[in-house]
Amino acid sequence: MLFFLFLALSLLSRTTTTTVHAAAAAAAATATALECELYIAASTIPNAGLGIFSGLSKKKDDFIGNGDKAIPLIDVWWHNGQIYDFFNPMDDYTWDGSSMGMGLETLHKNDLSAFWPGIDAMVNCNAALLNTEKATPRYDEGGLHRAKHPGAGGITPYNADQSILIRDIPIGGELFKNYGDEWFLHRTNLGQIPVESHYGMVLDLMSDMIDEIKFDPSIMYNELIREFQTIWDSRILNALYDFTWKDVLRAIDVDDIGILLQNNATRSVEWLNENGKCIDHIVHGRSTIDGAGHGAFAKRDLPIDTIVTGTPLIHFPDGKWFDTYEFQYCNDGHMVRNMTDGPYGKQLLLNYCFSHPESTLTLCPYGSGVNYINHNKTKANVKVQWSKDGITNHHSEWLLKDPNEMTGVHSTNLAIDYVTIRDVVEGEELFLNYGDVWEDKWNELIEGWKHYDTSYLEDYVSATEYNLRHGKDRILSSKEQQLYYQPYPDNLLIRCHYLLELSNNVFDGDDISLFSNWENYMGDNNGFPCHVLNYDNSNESYLVEFYTSYNVLKKLRGVPREAIKFADRPYTTDLHMIGVIRQPIGIPDDILPDAWRNNNNNSTTDKGQTCTSEDQITCLKEEIEMMKNLQYNTVHDDDDDDDPCAVPDAFIELPVKTSSSSISTHGRVYRGA
């Protein structure tokens, strides 16, 4: 009887601590005949929308997918007026930006998120069956330089290759990544969904029950535990689902409750071909178009009318979400939103979305590979069309809705297919005609570029490039730097590896290969801001000073060069420049529903922008001078609550997907050029 009490108390305590149709048919037949590694279809998790499925049997440590762009979303809450409940269609489709290697795009990480289409936007989370590792995009500017390419600033530099599997997957198995416990624990509307730790807890508890009681434990399980499940809506009890005692013993034997769930998380390839779409026909690489960055290439021969990929669409009833505002500078260096002149630009995400001059609606795809497809009017070999009703969350009745009726709806209800308009051979680059409006905007930028004096930008170098060139050079101490005029580029900061905080007064490590990976447990690869105080010639090491993650000032001797790198100052990378292209892809006239033609002003996406392409360079110069004049503190943010320019205290929002448990908060923001 005492064990009954122990069991009940144990469960309670553990629970409360973690509180077009004919063409479509032909295309489907073609797709069925082609090899496919990845499918998109309805998730095996009830009410979870779409999921990603493997078309092949794969082993742990195998690669899967072809990689996708990751797009930084900069200070979205701030630019939308810091309104607690503003309609943010991206809420459930983004990851914490700092865990994606973007932590220094903004001064504060709080209002920074990453939209990562493809596997990382569509993958679901089943904490008992996690099989796909979270990756971190690599920084690659695509060969563009801001002094030489007008397209610089118009593409995201964050790209990723394949994902790695962390457990075996059968043919038709759904992919699952870890969102982080906080994503579920703070979304109480989802119910008491178990998180990763609960599955380990419940197996430990069942093992304890076997060891402690002196009679058949199956009786305890069937008559008491199952009864508890009907009484308590507990995350830890929910981790047992409707498993039999025989099931539990199987899971205990291999210490993996996921084996009991795999069958229900698997679909047949026949079902996937009939009810889903292959999203494995695209690989990315450097585009054949100079200045376009990366492009999409056919992974295999694709006959005419093949659905290259299908993608759901995130809808924005109007374009205000994308607006970015100029800042009013305060005496202490803080900035507040300047509403006088209207928005100065748009979020980079807009370049990857669809719109039409006659509609206020903007649609952003998050399918695999789609954001690598570049524009080429004369060489276009794919087109877009609406998906078949009921497939990949496309609901044809939404084509009859006024955009205003879509406000407040977070679920995706529209989808498009990218379809080949001629035979495409393996390795051929895929092109889409973005439309006349987009091409006119691009030609306008090119024409203005011909008359710019960009000589003052020629010395610009990103941190990635600077580290490649000078990664082994001796770094000047802070005092030595004062003896020279601009010894290092203005846009760069010195950072120290996060592992250094594990040492005491002298670095006590001898394996410098550990510093080849800058990611911490959260995926942040930026380390700590630090100062180099001295260089020791005797052992070619440094004395550095930095603040630890606990905000403790620390001095450390014997630091090797490999533990120090340069990083871009916040708001100085290309995507923050003013006057760069911000133009959505055009929705073709022949598929635009009449119900969406609600933009009576027929305004362009640049309405209210104060820096046009003609004065791009003037704007850039002014912004750079502003940034130089700011008193930039790399360690502290000493806010004065009485400051009339201060932004109101931030609220705690629902966490975005991350590789660890963290709550994202919003704070003050800065911007440079």
Which residues lie across from 266 on neighbouring strands? Answer: 173
**Could you tell me if 516 and 525 are in contact, meaning their C-beta atoms sit under 8 angstroms apart?**
no
Greatest mean pLDDT among 340-349, 419-428, 493-502, 641-650 lies in 419-428
Question: What are the start-end ranges of the H helices in 234-341?
Answer: 235-238, 245-254, 269-275
- Rounded mean pLDDT, 304-323: 94
| Gap between the Cα atoms of 90 and 181, Å rounded | 19
- Rounded mean pLDDT, 273-298: 93
Which residues lie across from 169 on neighbouring strands? Answer: 58
| pLDDT at residue 222, as a whole number | 80
| pLDDT at residue 395, as a whole number | 96
- % of residues, the chain, pLDDT over 70: 83
| pLDDT at residue 410, as a whole number | 86
| pLDDT at residue 456, as a whole number | 84
Between 635 and 594, name the one with better pLDDT: 594
What is 329-382 written as a DSSP string?
EPTTS-EEE--SS-EEEE-GGGGGSEE-TT---EEEE-SSSGGG-EE-TTT--E
**Widest pairwise Cα distance in the chain:** 88
* Interval 462-490: pLDDT, tens: 999 999 999 999 999 999 999 988 899 99
- Rounded mean pLDDT, 639-651: 39
**Could you tell me if 641 and 50 are in contact, meaning their C-beta atoms sit under 8 angstroms apart?**
no
| pLDDT at residue 231, as a whole number | 65
Nearest alpha carbon to residue 158 among 134, 142, 179, 178: 142
**Could you tell me if 228 and 8 are in contact, meaning their C-beta atoms sit under 8 angstroms apart?**
yes
Q: Which two tokens stand for residue 507?
A: 């670095």
| pLDDT at residue 602, as a whole number | 63
Residue 18's pLDDT band (cuts 50, 70, 90): very low
* Interval 63-111: pLDDT, tens: 999 889 999 999 998 898 877 778 899 988 888 888 888 988 988 777 8
State which amino acid sits at residue 22: A
| Gap between the Cα atoms of 448 and 150, Å rounded | 9
Residue 432: enclosing H or E segment and its boundaries? strand 431-432
| Gap between the Cα atoms of 457 and 246, Å rounded | 69
| Gap between the Cα atoms of 542 and 535, Å rounded | 5
| Gap between the Cα atoms of 666 and 243, Å rounded | 42
Q: Residue 139 contacts by C-beta under 8 Å, 6 or more apart in sequence?
A: 101, 157, 158, 462, 464
Greatest mean pLDDT among 30-44, 126-140, 409-423 lies in 409-423
| 507, 510, 515, 516: CA torsion to nearest 10 | 170
Residue 589's pLDDT band (cuts 50, 70, 90): very high
The pairs formed by 90-96 with CB atoms below 8 angstroms and a separation of 24 or more are 90/115, 90/314, 91/410, 91/654, 91/656, 92/410, 93/121, 93/314, 93/366, 94/656, 94/657, 95/120, 95/656, 95/657, 95/658, 96/522, 96/523, 96/655, 96/656, 96/657, 96/658, 96/662, 96/664
Q: Which two tokens stand for residue 393?
A: 């969350």
**Could you tell me if 159 and 138 are in contact, meaning their C-beta atoms sit under 8 angstroms apart?**
yes
| Gap between the Cα atoms of 582 and 377, Å rounded | 19
Q: Which two tokens stand for residue 27?
A: 């295309």
* Interval 410-447: pLDDT, tens: 889 999 999 999 999 999 999 999 999 999 999 999 99
**Statement: residue 670 has pLDDT above 70:** no
Between 12 and 226, name the one with better pLDDT: 226
Nearest alpha carbon to residue 479 among 407, 401, 429, 534: 534
| Gap between the Cα atoms of 418 and 168, Å rounded | 31
∠ Cα 50 55 56 (to 5°): 140
State which amino acid sits at residue 505: N
Residue 592's pLDDT band (cuts 50, 70, 90): very high
Nearest alpha carbon to residue 403 among 317, 292, 300: 317
User: How far is Cα of residue 644 from the mean position of the Cα atoms in its chain?
Assistant: 35
**Could you tell me if 154 and 580 are in contact, meaning their C-beta atoms sit under 8 angstroms apart?**
yes
**Could you tell me if 59 and 96 are in contact, meaning their C-beta atoms sit under 8 angstroms apart?**
no
Go through 326-344 and write b for each residue having 16 or more CB atoms within 10 A of its CB, e for each that does not. bbebeeeebbbbeeeeebb
Q: What separation in angstroms does the CA of 517 have from each of 85, 277, 311, 497?
A: 38, 36, 33, 9
Q: Between β-strands 431-432 and 374-375, what pairing exists: parallel, antiparallel or unpaired?
A: parallel
Q: Residue 486 contacts by C-beta under 8 Å, 6 or more apart in sequence?
A: none
| pLDDT at residue 130, as a whole number | 94
What's the whole-model pTM score? Answer: 0.81
| Gap between the Cα atoms of 369 and 184, Å rounded | 28
| Gap between the Cα atoms of 467 and 469, Å rounded | 5
Between 651 and 480, name the one with better pLDDT: 480
Weakest-pLDDT range from 160-174, 372-386, 607-621: 607-621
**Could you tell me if 438 and 585 are in contact, meaning their C-beta atoms sit under 8 angstroms apart?**
yes
| Gap between the Cα atoms of 529 and 74, Å rounded | 21
**Could you tell me if 146 and 238 are in contact, meaning their C-beta atoms sit under 8 angstroms apart?**
no
| 100, 102, 108, 111: CA torsion to nearest 10 | -60
Q: What separation in angstroms does the CA of 229 have from each of 3, 226, 256, 339?
A: 18, 5, 21, 54
Residue 135's pLDDT band (cuts 50, 70, 90): confident
E strand map for 256-305: 277-278, 282-286, 294-298
Give the chain's end-to-end CA distance (angstroms, integer). Answer: 70
**Statement: residue 381 has pLDDT above 80:** yes
Q: Which two tokens stand for residue 136?
A: 């971190």
State which amino acid sits at residue 204: D
- Rounded mean pLDDT, 212-237: 78
∠ Cα 512 514 516 (to 5°): 90
Residue 626's pLDDT band (cuts 50, 70, 90): very low
